[in-house]
A and B are shown apart, each in its own frame.
Chain A
Amino acid sequence: QSALTQPRSVSGSPGQSVTISCTGTSSDVGGYNLVSWYQQHPGKGPRLIIYDVTEGPSGVPDRFSGSKSGNTASLTISGLQAEDEADYYCSSYAGRDIYVFGTGTEVTVL
């Protein structure tokens, strides 16, 4: 049950797109279409922004999108905005009612 691997940080200018990768194994990311993504602003709790790899909850801007290929899932933020500056975490089901989180990525808007 090792943490999923994410880049420590990514950055982009307003209006640009950034992509965050989330690499696991065939026992978690690659084995289930149950990858979710969370946004966390400083001092706040996490917020669900993507579930089931590609689905966005109501109220989440559609500039957030998800995908998966093999053991790696990705979150893309299109049309980057200042309020998108936050930490982002992926999570995947790993079987037997266990979920594993990613190491987290800090997104900076330049």
Chain B
Amino acid sequence: QVQLVQSGADVKKPGASVKVSCKASGYTFSDHYLYWVRQAPGQGLESMGMIKPTTGSTAYSQKFQGRLTLTRDTSTNTLYMDLSSLTSDDTAVYYCVRNTFSGFDFWGQGTLVTVSS
């Protein structure tokens, strides 16, 4: 069965960077684009960007340009999301999500990132 298993919760200080991992299994890794979506406490869903597993090429939402880096390791079918210059506004649950072009069909369990001094 398809699984996206993310790394555990993290606490960072303002100005720091955070790296969240997501290991995919149960399907052919190269067959689907993967996205990162975040949700601040009590707020809605926000798409951050995507990575193509085959080539590693990326597309980022304007809001995160310059501060978001998405990478992947095809030897372990693992994705990485690196977000820098953190502020309290970045406190959120971060999800890795499989995309079928028609929609987002499988979601990781989510990783809570808390930014606090």
With A38-B104, A46-B104, A52-B103 known, 8 other A-B pairs at CB within 8 A are A1-B61, A1-B63, A45-B107, A45-B108, A45-B110, A50-B103, A91-B103, A98-B61
Query: B47 touching A38 by the CB < 8 A rule?
Result: no
User: Considering the complex, which residues of chain A in the window 49-72 have a beta carbon less than 8 Å from any beta carbon of chain B?
Assistant: 50-52, 55, 57
Chain A CB count within 10 A is highest, among B59, B63, B102, B108, for B102
When C-beta atoms are compared, the residue in chain B nearest to A101 turns out to be B45
**A97 proximal to B (CB < 8 A):** yes
Instruction: Count residues of chain B with CB under 8 A from any CB of chain A.
Output: 24
Q: How many A-B residue pairs have CB under 8 A?
A: 64
B105 on the A face (CB < 8 A): yes
- Say whether, besides A36-B104, A48-B104, A101 and B46 are in contact (CB < 8 Å): yes
Measured between beta carbons, the chain B residues less than 8 angstroms from A19 are: none
Q: Which residues of A are interface residues toward B (Cβ below 8 A)?
A: 1, 3, 34, 36, 38, 45-48, 50-52, 55, 57, 89, 91, 93, 96-104
Q: Are B100 and A51 neighbours in the complex by a CB distance under 8 Å?
A: yes
- Give the distance to chain B from A27, nearest Cβ to Cβ, in Å: 13
A34 to B46, CA, bound (A): 17
Residues of B59-79 contacting chain A, CB below 8 A: 59, 61-63
Residues of A within 8 A of B50 (CB): 97-98
